[in-house]
Structure 1
Amino acid sequence: MNLATTAPRPRRLRVDAARNQQRILDAARELFADRGLEITLDDVAARAGVGVGTVYRRFANKRELISEVFAVHVREFAEAAQDALTEANPWEGVVRLFDYACRHMATNRGFSEVMLAMHDDPDRLTLPREQLGPAVAAVMERARNAGVLQPGIEDTDLFALIYMVDSLAEFARPVDSDIWRRYMAITLNGIRAQDTPPQPLAVNALSLVQVERAKAAKPCVARRR
C-alpha cells in the first residue's frame, strides 16, 4: 500500500518540472520580444515567477535559453513559409511570407537581434537554419517560375529586404509603431513584376516633425546587435 500511495508523486514532480520549463520559456520569449537579448536569467525568473535556481537548473546560461527560445521562432518562420506555399497565387505567397517576417522582426526586438546574429556569427547559436532556407527558397522559386518577380531577384534578397524594413521600423518606433507596414508595401512593389498588382500604401508616410522626433529619440546611438 505504501508503494501505491507514493507512486503518483514522481509523476507530479515531472508535471511540475515541465510546467516550470514552459513558464520559463514563455517568460523568456516575452522579455526577448520587449527588451532584446540584454536581459538576464534573473529577469526571466522574476517574470516566470520561479526561483533563479530553477532557471539555472534548466539552462546553464543565457545562451542556452536564447537558443531554445529562438529555435521555436525559426521553426515557426519555416512553418509560415510552408503556409505561404498553400496560397493559390504565388505572388500572394510571397506577400504572406514577407508580411509574417516583417511583422515579427518589427514587433519582436529579440527575434530581430538573433536573426541578424545568426547570419553574422553562424556558430553563436544553434538555431535550425536548415529548416528556414529551403522553405523560403521554395516560396521564391515558385514566384520566379510564375513570372511575378522582377528578373534577378534571389532568395537571399528576401532576408536583406526584411532587415531593411526592420531598420526603418526600429528608427520610427518611437513615433509610429505601424510604419513598417508602409515600407513593407513599398519594398514588395520594388520586387514585383510590372504586370503584378501593386501593394496599397495603407500607412501614411512620416511627417517631417515625426522624422525629427524619431531622430531625437535615439541621438547618435548606433543600433546594437
Structure 2
Amino acid sequence: MRNDRLLLDAAREVFAAHGASASVALVAARAGLGIGSLYRRYGSKTELLQRLCVLSMQEAVDAATDALELPDAADALAGYIRTCVALRIGSLSPLAGTIETTPEMLSFALRARDLHDRLVKRAHRDGRLRADVTPMDINWLISQFARTSPVAEADDADRILHQRLLGVAIDGLFTAEPSPLPGPPPTTAHYENRWHTARSDAGGPQPPAA
C-alpha cells in the first residue's frame, strides 16, 4: 500500500510537469522503486494515468464534501481552493485528450462537479463571492495554481511566494468593489473538451478536473 502511494505521488508530480509523454521509468525512479514494482501494480502506462485521474477526482470530492460542512460559505470556498491546490488537483490537465475517459473517471468527475458548483452557489447566496465569478473560473484558478505548485525539492522562498500569490487570488474573489472581469466567462465545454479523445466512448461530459 505504501509503495502504491509512493508511485501515485511520484506519477502526479512527473506527469504534471512533463505531460503524458513522460516515461514510467521516470515515475518509478522518482518513487525510489524499480520499474517491475510499477508494472506489478499497473499493467500499462494508460492504466496508471487513469488511476491517477480517479484518485485526483476522488480527492476533489472529499475536499468539497468537507468544505460544505463548514458554516461560513466564503471560508468554505477559500479553504476548498487551498486544499485542492495543496493536493495538486487540476495539475493533470496536460493529460487532457491523451487518455481514454473511463466510466469510473466520469462518475467521479460528475460528483466532483456537482459539489464544486454547490460550494460556489452557496458563496454567491451568502453575498460574499463577487457576482461575476463562475464555477468554471474557480476550476481554472485551482488548475493554474496546482500546476505551478513548487516541487518537493523547492526551497521555502518558492513555497512562500506560491502561497502569497494564491492568497492574493483568493482575496480577489471576495473583494467588495471588484473591477469588471474582461471578456465572457469561461464555458464548461471549453474546459471539458480537452478530455475528448478519438478513442473515448464513455460519452457525455468529460472530467471537469484532475
Give TM-score scaled by structure 1 length.
0.61
Match of 1:30 in 2: 9
Match for residue 81 of structure 1? Answer: 64
More helix by share: 1
Do the aligned partners of residues 39 and 162 (structure 1) sit closer, same or farther apart at CA in structure 2, a change above 3 Å counting? Answer: same
Q: Distance in 1 between matches of 2:169 and 2:30?
A: 40
Residue 83 of structure 1, CA deviation: 0.6
The alignment of Structure 1 onto Structure 2 pairs a total of residues equal to 165
Which is higher, the Rg of structure 1 or of structure 2?
1
Aligned match of 1:121 in 97, 102, 122? Answer: 97
Question: Counterpart of 1:68?
Answer: 51
Name 1:182's counterpart in structure 2.
164
% identical equivalent positions: 15
Find the residue that maps to 2:158 and give its secondary structure: coil
The aligned runs of 1:51-66 (5 Å cut-off) are 52=36, 55-66=38-49
In the superposition, relative to structure 1, how do residues 62 and 122 fare at CA in structure 2: closer, same or farther (>3 Å)?
closer
Paired with 1:194 and 1:74, the residues of 2 have a C-alpha distance of 32
1:40 paired to 2:24: yes
Equivalences for residues 93-108 of structure 1 within 5 A: 93-105=76-88
Matched, 1:191 2:207: no
- 4+ aligned runs moved over 6 Å, structure 1: none
* Shift in alpha-carbon separation, 1:192–1:122, aligned structure 2, 3 A: farther
Q: Report 1:118-197 matches (<5 A).
A: 120-121=96-97, 124-126=100-102, 127=105, 128-166=108-146, 169=149, 176-194=158-176
Kept in 2, the 8 Å contact 1:23–1:48? The answer is no
Shift of 1:100: 0.5
TM, length-normalised to structure 2: 0.65
**Deviation at residue 137 of structure 1 after TM alignment:** 0.5
Q: State the shift of 1:104 in Å.
A: 2.1
Residue 60 of structure 1 aligns to a residue in which SS?
Answer: coil
What runs of 5+ residues in structure 2 fail to find an aligned partner? Answer: 178-210
Higher relative contact order structure (alpha carbons within 8 Å, sequence separation ≥ 6): 2
RMSD: 3.1
